[in-house]
Amino acid sequence: MAEVDYKSKPIDPDFLNKPEEYPHTGSHHEHKVFAEGVQRLDADGKPYPTKKGIHGAHVAVDFDSCIADGSCLPVCPVEVFEWALNPAHDEVGEDKKIASGTPEWDEWRTDKADPVREADCIDCMACETVCPVLAIKIFTEQPYGTQ
Ligand code: SF4
């Protein structure tokens, strides 16, 4: 888990119903991305230093909440996740380490758990349960491709 200079806030479980606050801004690895580039507030009410948005609409990970704890990656029985900045790595501690004061720090702060195989999710809820900052929301009513 990386040291960060903001207070992580749980993912908004209702973000899919708030398109003005969380607009659909793109896609990545065949999952949708919401609110990338949008300034949002951390748990202290201060602007998040990053604007990475939320990845996924079935397996949704708030990249601005994620602090690279990594627990969600090995707990997933179908290997939905890998590290966004260290592709093909999916274990605790295999995240790309980012030094503070660098341009990459300004953009990312930490590596992120990326739901690259969202379509494989079997809704076991293990990742949502294990995340220490509640950055993940599983939408069991949103079968992949129907969002
Ligand atoms: S709910 Fe279960 S299967 Fe789906 S991404 Fe999370 S850990 Fe993997």
Model confidence at 146: pLDDT above 60: no
Cβ 82 vs Cβ 114: under 8 Å:
yes
Burial of 145 (0-12, 13-18, 19+ CB in 10 A): exposed
Q: Is the Cβ atom of 138 under 6 angstroms away from ligand 1?
A: yes
The continuous run of DSSP H or E covering 55 comes out as: strand 54-55
Q: Check pocket membership of 122 for ligand 1, CB cut-off 6 A.
A: yes
Is pTM beyond 0.85? Reply is: yes
Which residue carries 């951390």 as its tokens?
42
Judge if the beta carbon of residue 54 lies within 6 A of ligand 1: no
Which residue has the CA at smallest separation from atom 8 of ligand 1?
76
**For 26-74, how does the pLDDT look when each residue is reduced to its tens digit (9 = 90+)?**
999 989 999 999 999 999 999 999 999 999 999 999 999 999 999 999 9
Q: Ligand 1 centroid to 114 CA: how many Å?
A: 12
Instruction: For residue 147, give the amino acid letter.
Output: Q
Interval between CA 72 and ligand 1 midpoint (Å)? 8
**What's the token pair of residue 4?**
């960060």
**Nearest Cα residue to atom 7 of ligand 1:** 76
Ligand 1 centre distance from Cα of residue 141 (Å): 14
- 78 close to ligand 1 (CB < 6 Angstrom): yes
Contacts of 56 (CB under 8 A, 6+ apart): 31, 32, 115, 118
Torsion of CA 125, 129, 130, 136, to 10 degrees: 80
Domains and CATH numbers, the chain: 1-147 (3.30.70.20)
Residues with Cβ within 8 Å of 37's Cβ and at least 6 positions away in sequence, in order, are 25, 51, 53
pLDDT surpasses 90 at 137: yes
